[in-house]
Every structure is written in C-alpha cells, then in structure tokens.
Chain A
Amino acid sequence: VKIPPGVHPGQFIRLAGQGMPGHGGEAAGDLYLEVRIAPHKLYRVEERDLYMTLPVTPTEAALGAQVQVPTPGGGVVEVTVPRNARGGMKLRLKGRGLAGKTPGDLYLLIEIALPPADSDAARAAYEQLAQAASSFNPRQHLGV
C-alpha cells in the first residue's frame, strides 16, 4: 500500500474493493486502515506538530548560540538558541512538522545538559561560576 503523503495519526486510508466479498453479486466492501505512527527515537507527535528535546550546554543557554538540529525531512537546520534560554522553553520551527495542506510545526524543547565536573579545569570553571553568580538562589521561591 502506498501511503498518501500528509496522513496523520487517527486518519483512515480506504482501499476500495479490498474488504469482505459481496453477497449475491454485490461488490466487495472496502478495507479501512487506521494510521498509527510508530514511536520515533527523536520526534514525538501531537496532532500535526512534532516535538523534539534539544539538549544545550549551560553556556549555550546563558549566552545564546547557533546549534544544528536534524529535521524530519532528513536535512539539518541551524537554530538560534536565545540568550538566557531556560529548560523547558519551546522554540518553534514553523512548517517543519508533519506535511499536509497546513503543515505542522516542529517544536524544540530546551533541556540544559550539564557538563560533568570530572576534571580540575571543569571544577575550577564551576567554582568561578559559583562565585560570579553568588547572589543567584534557585530556591528563593521555597522561602529558604
């Protein structure tokens, strides 16, 4: 079966005349296939939109960066991560979701990936950051 382009989860594909045979000379029925999209290792589907987690380093999130992102079509696009990006922030790539008359969008969910402090240089850099941002309290809203 050739899947028509732009189909989405829950949509039905009709194969004319491929259903149960008809009785008494009647034409055979149609066969309906319900579209389900198998889980993908990168993309998650919500209606016509696709979601992908985009890991960025703390420096990329804080300072902003240009990062490369694979698209469902097979290409790679360069995306601007804005300065002071936070974990959970969504970046939208318009029209890069599922194809169709009105194509969906591709959403990138920012996830901050911490480099491990497993070397003297990395530990020193974290200590320097701790001093530079000593007034930052991520638990302020807890009242402590």
Chain B
Amino acid sequence: MATVSVTTATAISASQPLALNELAHAVGADTAWVVQLVEVGIVQVTTAEAPPERWQFSSTDLQCALEARRLERDFGVGLDAAALILDLQHEVRRLKAVLQAHGVR
C-alpha cells in the first residue's frame, strides 16, 4: 500500500512572497545574482528602496528568474540579453493567451 505523507502547500502570492535568499535558493543561485536580476529589470521589486533582505518576490519573479537561469546556463547569454529575450517571450505568450481566450487557435 502506498504511503501518503501530508505536507503544507503554500501558494506563492502577495500575502506569502519569497524572500531574497528563498528566491536565490529556489533557482540554485546566490543572492548577488538575484540582485543583478533586479538591476537589469528581469524581476521587479516593489520595495526597491528597502534593503535587499526585505525584498519580496512573487510567482512571476520566480518564473522569470528560472527562465533567466536557463538562458544563462543553456545558451551562455548575459543578463541584459536575457532580459530582452524574456520581454519578447512574455509578450508572445500574452498575445497567444489573448488569441486563445477569444477562441483563435
């Protein structure tokens, strides 16, 4: 018989954001790398004037950080180029979602 263990599932949201070290840990990077992501605009910090240890990150930030990490690792692109690629990629996804919502395949 399979063993089922119960664990706590938390949706990353505005009320339960990730801290700087948690985001860095989740993407296998150090906090300095995440600070660079903020500097090039790949992730947005609403509390940018606060010290980095008080920054808060959303699910979207985690997704962007993971994609930037993948671009850097797989294609060796710099973070400036990654920011541009991610911008274009998100715009394509957004437009596809709008088309799909309106019933256009």
Q: Report the interface size for chain A: residues with CB under 8 A from the other chain.
A: 30
Q: Which partner residue on chain B sits nearest A14 by CB separation?
A: B10
**Chain B residues, Cβ within 8 Å of A12:** 11-12, 59, 62-63
Tell whether, in the assembled complex, residue B59 and residue A10 are in contact, meaning their CB atoms are under 8 Å apart.
Answer: yes
**Contact with B9, one of A4, A47, A53, A109 (Cβ below 8 angstroms):** A4
Q: Report the interface size for chain B: residues with CB under 8 A from the other chain.
A: 20
B3 at the interface (CB under 8 A from A): no
* Interface 9-mer from B32-40, B41-49, B77-85, B96-104: B96-104
Tell whether, in the assembled complex, residue A44 and residue B12 are in contact, meaning their CB atoms are under 8 Å apart.
Answer: no
B70 to chain A, nearest CB (A): 13
Tell whether, in the assembled complex, residue A44 and residue B103 are in contact, meaning their CB atoms are under 8 Å apart.
Answer: yes
**Chain A residues, Cβ within 8 Å of B98:** 46
A141 at the interface (CB under 8 A from B): no
Q: Which partner residue on chain A sits nearest B8 by CB separation?
A: A16
Known: A13-B10, A15-B8; 20 extra A-B contacts, CB below 8 A, are: A2-B9, A3-B9, A4-B9, A4-B11, A10-B59, A10-B63, A11-B11, A11-B59, A13-B9, A13-B12, A14-B10, A14-B12, A30-B25, A32-B26, A33-B9, A34-B63, A46-B97, A46-B101, A51-B101, A101-B14
Q: Which partner residue on chain B sits nearest A43 by CB separation?
A: B101
